[in-house]
């Protein structure tokens, strides 16, 4: 039909088309040869941007000999059609789609697959673009052809082409892989739902039929035949469809995705997050006939089994595409779940899984033989896919059902098989320790995830369930083997060099995850594993003592290091911000052990704490306690103490009705009491706490320069202790804690702690003040803690020769140390200690300003000063009384002014590029701190606990912050706004200010105002969506303030908003007019995310209302520029309906904003397409 179309054209047109084709071919060639690529790209771009290039594109597709030219032509059709879709005739739309479909069918045997794929994806995109407008009959017409093709009635090539078109279509309709096409999310969502409801199952049936039909021929053939290609494509598409995120009516009640409603309540959302690898397939009851009752799964498994026999034939092997797709599909079927199975208490699902397992078990059994075969060169993919299948099954069943599955086929359960598999994998890992990832690494990770999946379910279902006895002993064996392999790895790596160490550091997160999985396995068999750990630990300690002075302990140290990490994970969970409880398995297993000296957990913990205590002896420390071992000790103590040391449930209650409490807490049973009360406050708790504090002090003092160790001590161990209220009140009564505080103020060696640790230690000590009995005591404690620091700073700042000595390295070190400490204390602000901390800051206000001047070239100190003030104000501001507020505000302003006068207009240069960029980064950090300071001041207006309003002392926060902004903004250059964090802080502060206090803008002078508004315009064109959004909010606030104020007969933004002619007759537009122009240009001509349209609308509406005449002028300007009459009238109507349709009124209320958002969206869809290109 198209040929005829060309014939009917004149010769002139023909020549024109030929010329275009030649130009495009030339451009394609020159891109490939890399001669003048810019010009070539321009030629290609001009094709896709020209109006209605379809005829030329179709001509090229059908006639060009150059595949690249055809590829480009297809792309041009897509670009042009998506852009012009709004004003294409329905006939043209359909014509383009059928052209593409015909093209792929006609050229199905073409060797240039990529052109076909491109055309197929163009067809899919156009079909989606028109999806909601086409009638059902129109869609049927398209799909009829496709169905014919997929069924194979036009030969294998066409069949393959049909399947790959469906592949493009499904991925185009799936939200994660769709093309945006400039349409809102609702559109994509509606398309997704419609395809899922009306077509998905049909597609599946077509390809299922296709695969079924070719499979016999494949099995019968002795070499690779063309059917193989079709079959693997079909299997791929089935997999893709099963991967679809089904959400329609079928599983509507299943709104929490990833949750298996089949075992209602058994699983929790957070488990499934871990199992990222395993996507649940939940297509709902409508799919039961196709997937379950049709025998489809049986066919698939048989097909694969038959395929396995052929791996010796030419063209087939374990990793050939067909085998890979088939296995993937089988694994996917293992995670089938949800309402597709009837509610028959899981019977049908069990049958299904049993069928799957029977097929899969051949891939992985017997584990030792499989592993041996892989070691002698067989591909590992079957084993890995088998492991993945087990993992999927573990995800969709309960541990008990999972274990039972295999029992109907074998004398043992699935968990035993799982354990045997994992043991083989661990053995292989022990034999070959290599750097690169081997099959056993991958298999170990998958199997560990499977264990985690199973055991987490047990965990979530309470301690009534546990593994069957056989499963427990399987877990115990496995854990013993795991520990053996870890210890062997440790001693083997003990002498490795530092490079390896760095490598391990990098993978520490991965290791942590692995250790938590090990811990789950250990806890499943607590009865065996804790005594095992205890035994291994004692053995190592004995070995250390025996070999003391005679043999090198390094290997044993490294083993102890591993053992401590493993034990820590087994005994306690990471709190993640909450107080962790004693793990349920440990709690329930020892529920009848009442004698403390026979409680394995107490015995194990006790022996580790006694070992740790040995580090206090200087001689033993020198022999055994290397920095690395000490790191593990401190880490263990931190983790252990947050669970077991004076747990909150136990303290308090036992003063009053401990008996009562005991009775009501029957569930917790005796065990917790034996365990908990042993380390509780009335028994050994205090003694253990004392040991821990003494160990901390000794690590801080005796390991100079060991940053990692100090970090663990300060930030994890001590920080963790003061987070617990029940510990703090005992802490402050201990001599060892007082020793720590004294050492902190006096010990010279503690001045050499790393800055961050210095700060953290100060904070920790200050926080502990809340453990004091009275608030006077707390304030007194803070005072004595800080007085040495404040007086040292005051004294230093008042020295006459400060200028001379300030820049001496030792003085700089001292000042920075003290400031870090003050900052730490400032961050510990609490209502109870607020007075003392305010005093502290008040005393150093003047010194801070003096130092800011003295160290104006010492960026490190400047930054510290600013950060201290920022943190101090942050902690204090809401509690301050009016008078104090006035003092703080005054101080902050002086600080800002001083900083500004030191830095404005300064040009620093450096010979080295890296130093220069370093200097920029420092400036950026300073400014960020200053902006934070302003935001902190701002918060006084929102939350204020002062007894009288701050205005009593003449403080006006908004005024202050604007003045601050006025000082700071000149320092913020456009270059600095390229730092994303600074940019965010700046614009969030600015938009907050404009939203809350728009009236202040009117009071600013022209210069200040234009700088602020200049940055706003800059932000409007920023790449970061959030920044643009902030600016739009600021604009909305400005314009709506002006509009409402004017409505009330007030000045609004005053002179800034009015347009005027200056003395030279030059016209100056008011700011709102400028922004209207700028915003409209942005919305119409620039690229932005569709998410911004609604906030754009919210800013545009008040702007239009303020500046109606400017809006009319702009609209006329744009309309005048249109030469095409149709476009011109469309544009006129669009501009008109933007401000009139949906009953838009001229008020600024919620309803009106909503209407305008809709108007703007349809306006943009209507006109953006042609405005941007024509």
Partner 1 sequence: MSDEEHHFESKADAGASKTFPQQAGTIRKNGYIVIKGRPCKVVEVSTSKTGKHGHAKCHFVGIDIFTGKKLEDIVPSSHNCDVPHVTRTDYQLIDISEDGFVSLLTETGNTKDDLRLPTDENLLSQIKDGFAEGKDLVVSVQSSMGEEQICALKDIGPK
Which residues of this protein are in contact with partner 1, per CB under 8 A? 493-498, 501-502, 554, 557-558, 626-629, 704-708, 745-746, 748, 751-755, 788, 792, 801, 804-805, 807-811, 813-814, 857, 859-860, 905-912, 914-915, 918, 922
- CA distances to 798, 901, 971 from 964, rounded to whole Å, are 28, 13, 12
CB of 825 to partner 1, least distance (A): 17
Phi, psi angle pair for 336, to nearest 5°: -70, 130
Which CB, 22 or 901, lies closer to partner 1? 901
Which CB, 141 or 805, lies closer to partner 1? 805
Q: Are 477 and 423 in contact (CB under 8 A)?
A: yes
CB of 900 to partner 1, least distance (A): 13
- What is the dihedral sign for C-alpha 936, 940, 944, 950? positive
Q: Are 872 and 825 in contact (CB under 8 A)?
A: no
Give the three-state DSSP class for 682: coil
Which CB, 813 or 1051, lies closer to partner 1? 813
For residues 207, 210, 212, 216, the Cα torsion angle rounded to the nearest 10 degrees is -150
Place of tokens 């197929």: 120
CB of 629 to partner 1, least distance (A): 7
- CA distances to 366, 481, 740, 745 from 785, rounded to whole Å, are 68, 52, 11, 7
Which CB, 628 or 1021, lies closer to partner 1? 628
Among 1117, 1084, 1087, 1124, smallest CA distance to 1100 is for 1084
Which CB, 224 or 922, lies closer to partner 1? 922
d(CA 458, CA 521): 11
CB of 908 to partner 1, least distance (A): 4
Which CB, 948 or 1007, lies closer to partner 1? 1007
CB of 440 to partner 1, least distance (A): 24
Among 1014, 995, 1096, smallest CA distance to 1056 is for 1014
CB of 1003 to partner 1, least distance (A): 22
CB atoms within 10 A of CB 584: 14
CB of 791 to partner 1, least distance (A): 9
CB of 918 to partner 1, least distance (A): 6
d(CA 608, CA 596): 16
Which CB, 457 or 626, lies closer to partner 1? 626
CB of 519 to partner 1, least distance (A): 24
d(CA 31, CA 919): 43
Which CB, 745 or 1132, lies closer to partner 1? 745
Which CB, 20 or 969, lies closer to partner 1? 969
Which residues make beta-bridge pairs with 1061? 1067
Which CB, 464 or 748, lies closer to partner 1? 748
Q: Are 704 and 749 in contact (CB under 8 A)?
A: yes
CB of 829 to partner 1, least distance (A): 25
Which CB, 294 or 807, lies closer to partner 1? 807
For residues 371, 375, 381, 387, the Cα torsion angle rounded to the nearest 10 degrees is 30
CB of 870 to partner 1, least distance (A): 19
Q: Are 101 and 77 in contact (CB under 8 A)?
A: no
Q: Which two tokens stand for residue 310?
A: 């052929």
CB of 940 to partner 1, least distance (A): 32
Phi, psi angle pair for 632, to nearest 5°: -65, -40
Q: Which two tokens stand for residue 1036?
A: 């909305």
Q: Using only C-alpha atoms, what is the Rg of the chain?
A: 37
Which CB, 616 or 814, lies closer to partner 1? 814
Which CB, 323 or 629, lies closer to partner 1? 629
Which residues make beta-bridge pairs with 336? 281
CB of 907 to partner 1, least distance (A): 5
Q: Are 337 and 393 in contact (CB under 8 A)?
A: no
- What is the dihedral sign for C-alpha 755, 757, 760, 761? negative
Which helix H or strand E contains 1060, and what residues bound it? strand 1060-1061
Which CB, 63 or 808, lies closer to partner 1? 808
Which CB, 270 or 784, lies closer to partner 1? 784
Phi, psi angle pair for 1067, to nearest 5°: -90, 125
d(CA 291, CA 283): 10
Contacts of residue 497, defined as CB under 8 A and 6 or more positions apart, other chains included, come to none
Q: Are 458 and 490 in contact (CB under 8 A)?
A: no
CB of 453 to partner 1, least distance (A): 34
Q: Are 243 and 336 in contact (CB under 8 A)?
A: no
Which CB, 326 or 817, lies closer to partner 1? 817
The tally of CA atoms less than 13 A away on the side-chain side of residue 663 is: 3
Which CB, 346 or 627, lies closer to partner 1? 627
CB of 502 to partner 1, least distance (A): 7
Length in residues, the chain: 1174
CB of 496 to partner 1, least distance (A): 7
Indicate the burial class of 7 (C-beta count within 10 angstroms; 0-12, 13-18, 19 or more).
exposed
Q: Are 120 and 161 in contact (CB under 8 A)?
A: yes
d(CA 274, CA 577): 19
Per-residue burial over 612-628, b if 16 or more Cβ lie within 10 Å, else e, is bbbbeeeebbebbbbeb
CB of 759 to partner 1, least distance (A): 13
CB of 819 to partner 1, least distance (A): 13
d(CA 1083, CA 872): 43
Which CB, 158 or 796, lies closer to partner 1? 796
- Cα angle 720, 726, 730; round to 5: 95
């Amino acid at each position: 039909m198209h040929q005829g179309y060309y014939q009917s054209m004149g010769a002139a047109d023909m020549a024109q088309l030929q010329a275009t084709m030649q130009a495009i071919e030339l451009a394609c060639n020159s891109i490939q040869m890399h001669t003048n690529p810019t010009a070539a790209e321009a030629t290609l771009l001009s094709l896709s941007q020209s109006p209605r290039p379809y005829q030329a594109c179709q001509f090229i597709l059908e006639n060009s000999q150059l595949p690249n030219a055809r590829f480009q032509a297809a792309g041009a059709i897509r670009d042009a059609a998506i852009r012009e879709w709004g004003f294409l005739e329905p006939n043209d739309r359909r014509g383009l789609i059928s052209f593409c479909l015909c093209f792929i069918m006609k050229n199905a045997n073409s060797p240039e697959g990529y052109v076909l794929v491109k055309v197929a994806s163009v067809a899919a995109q156009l079909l989606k673009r028109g999806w909601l407008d086409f009638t059902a009959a129109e869609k049927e017409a398209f799909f009829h052809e496709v169905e014919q093709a997929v069924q194979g009635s036009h030969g294998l090539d066409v069949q393959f082409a049909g399947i790959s078109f469906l592949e493009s279509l499904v991925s185009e309709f799936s939200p994660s892989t769709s093309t945006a096409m400039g349409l809102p999310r609702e559109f994509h969502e509606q398309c997704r739902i419609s395809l899922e409801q009306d077509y998905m199952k049909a597609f599946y049936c077509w390809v299922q039929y296709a695969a079924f039909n070719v499979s016999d021929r494949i099995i019968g053939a002795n070499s690779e035949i063309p059917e193989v290609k079709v079959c693997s494509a079909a299997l791929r598409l089935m997999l893709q469809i099963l991967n679809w995120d089904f959400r329609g009516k079928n599983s509507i009640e299943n709104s929490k995705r990833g949750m298996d409603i089949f075992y209602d309540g058994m699983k929790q959302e957070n488990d499934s997050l871990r199992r990222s690898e395993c996507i649940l397939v939940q297509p709902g009851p409508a799919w039961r006939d196709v997937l379950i009752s049709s025998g489809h799964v049986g066919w698939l498994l048989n097909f694969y089994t038959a395929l396995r026999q052929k791996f010796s034939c030419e063209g087939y092997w374990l990793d050939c595409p067909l085998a890979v797709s088939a296995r993937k599909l089988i694994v996917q079927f293992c995670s089938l779940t949800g309402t597709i199975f009837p509610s028959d208490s899981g019977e049908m699902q069990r049958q299904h899984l049993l069928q799957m397992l029977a097929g899969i078990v051949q891939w992985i059994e017997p584990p030792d033989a499989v592993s041996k075969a892989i070691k002698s060169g067989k591909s590992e993919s079957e084993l890995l896919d088998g492991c993945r299948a087990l993992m999927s099954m573990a995800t969709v069943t309960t541990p008990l059902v999972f274990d039972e599955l295999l029992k109907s086929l074998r004398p043992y359960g699935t968990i035993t098989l799982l354990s045997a598999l994992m043991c083989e994998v661990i053995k292989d890992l022990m034999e070959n320790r290599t750097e690169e990832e081997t099959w056993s690494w991958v298999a170990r990770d998958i199997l560990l995830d499977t264990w985690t999946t199973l055991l987490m379910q047990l965990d979530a279902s309470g301690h009534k369930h546990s593994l069957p006895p056989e499963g427990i002993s399987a877990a115990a064996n496995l854990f013993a083997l795991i520990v053996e392999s870890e210890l062997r790895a440790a001693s083997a790596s003990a002498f490795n060099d530092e490079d390896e160490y760095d490598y391990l550091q990098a993978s520490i997160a991965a290791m942590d995850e692995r250790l938590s999985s090990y811990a789950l396995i250990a806890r499943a068999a607590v009865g065996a594993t804790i005594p095992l750990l205890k035994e291994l630990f004692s053995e190592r300690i004995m070995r250390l003592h025996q070999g003391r002075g005679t043999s090198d302990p390094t290997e044993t140290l490294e083993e102890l290091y591993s053992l401590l990490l493993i034990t820590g994970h087994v005994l306690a969970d990471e709190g993640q911000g909450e107080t962790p409880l004693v793990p349920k398995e440990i709690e329930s297993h020892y529920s009848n052990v009442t004698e403390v000296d026979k409680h394995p957990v107490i015995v194990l913990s006790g022996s580790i704490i006694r070992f740790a205590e040995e580090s206090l002896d200087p001689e033993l420390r020198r022999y055994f306690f290397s920095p690395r071992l000490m790191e593990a000790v401190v880490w263990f103590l931190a983790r252990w103490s947050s669970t077991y040391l004076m747990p909150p449930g136990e303290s308090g209650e036992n003063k009053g009705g401990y008996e009562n409490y005991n009775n009501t807490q029957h569930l917790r049973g005796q065990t917790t009491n034996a365990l908990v009360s042993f380390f509780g406050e009335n028994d050994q708790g205090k003694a253990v706490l004392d040991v821990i504090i003494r160990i901390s002090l000794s690590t801080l003092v005796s390991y100079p320069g060991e940053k990692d160790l100090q970090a663990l001590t300060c930030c994890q161990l001590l920080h963790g202790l003061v987070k617990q209220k029940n510990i703090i009140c005992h802490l402050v009564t201990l001599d060892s804690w007082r020793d720590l505080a004294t050492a902190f103020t006096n010990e010279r060696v503690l001045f050499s702690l790393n800055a961050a640790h210095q700060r953290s230690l100060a904070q920790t000590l200050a926080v502990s003040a809340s453990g004091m009995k009275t608030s006077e005591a707390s304030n007194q404690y803070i005072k004595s803690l800080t007085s040495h620091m404040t007086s040292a700073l005051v004294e230093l700042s008042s020295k006459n020769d400060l200028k001379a000595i300030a820049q001496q390295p030792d003085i700089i070190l001292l000042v920075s140390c003290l400031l870090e400490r003050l900052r730490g204390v400032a961050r510990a602000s609490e209502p109870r200690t607020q007075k003392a901390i305010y005093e502290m800051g008040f005393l150093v206000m003047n010194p801070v300003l003096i130092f800011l001047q003295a160290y104006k070239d010492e960026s490190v100190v400047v930054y510290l000063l600013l950060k201290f003030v920022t943190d101090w104000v942050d902690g204090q501001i809401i509690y301050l009384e009016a008078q104090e507020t006035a003092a703080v505000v005054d101080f902050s302003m002086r600080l800002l002014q001083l900083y500004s006068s030191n830095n404005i207009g300064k040009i620093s240069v450096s010979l080295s590029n890296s130093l220069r960029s370093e200097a920029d980064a420092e400036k950026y950090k300073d400014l960020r701190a200053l902006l934070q300071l302003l935001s902190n001041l701002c918060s006084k207006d929102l939350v204020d606990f002062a007894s009288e309003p701050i205005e009593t002392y003449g403080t006006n926060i908004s005024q202050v912050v604007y003045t601050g902004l006025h000082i700071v903004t000149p320092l913020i250059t456009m270059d600095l706004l390229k730092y994303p964090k600074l940019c965010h802080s700046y614009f969030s502060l600015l938009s907050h200010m404009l939203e809350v206090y728009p009236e202040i803008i009117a009071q600013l002078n022209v210069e200040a105002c234009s700088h602020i508004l200049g940055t706003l315009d800059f932000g409007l064109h920023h790449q970061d969506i959030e920044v643009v959004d902030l600016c739009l909010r600021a604009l909305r606030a400005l314009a709506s303030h002006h509009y409402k104020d004017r409505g009330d007969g007030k000045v609004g933004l005053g002179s800034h908003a009015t347009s005027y002619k200056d003395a030279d007759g030059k016209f100056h537009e008011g700011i709102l007019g400028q922004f209207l122009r700028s915003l409209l240009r942005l919305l119409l001509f620039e690229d932005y995310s569709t998410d911004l349209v609604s906030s754009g609308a919210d800013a545009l509406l008040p702007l239009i209302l303020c500046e109606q005449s400017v809006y009319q002028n702009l609209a006329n300007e744009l309309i005048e520029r249109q030469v095409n009459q149709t476009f011109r009238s469309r544009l006129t109507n669009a501009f008109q309906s933007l401000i009139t349709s949906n009953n838009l009124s001229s008020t600024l209320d919620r309803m009106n904003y909503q209407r305008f958002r809709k108007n703007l969206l349809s306006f943009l869809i209507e006109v953006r397409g042609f405005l941007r290109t024509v």
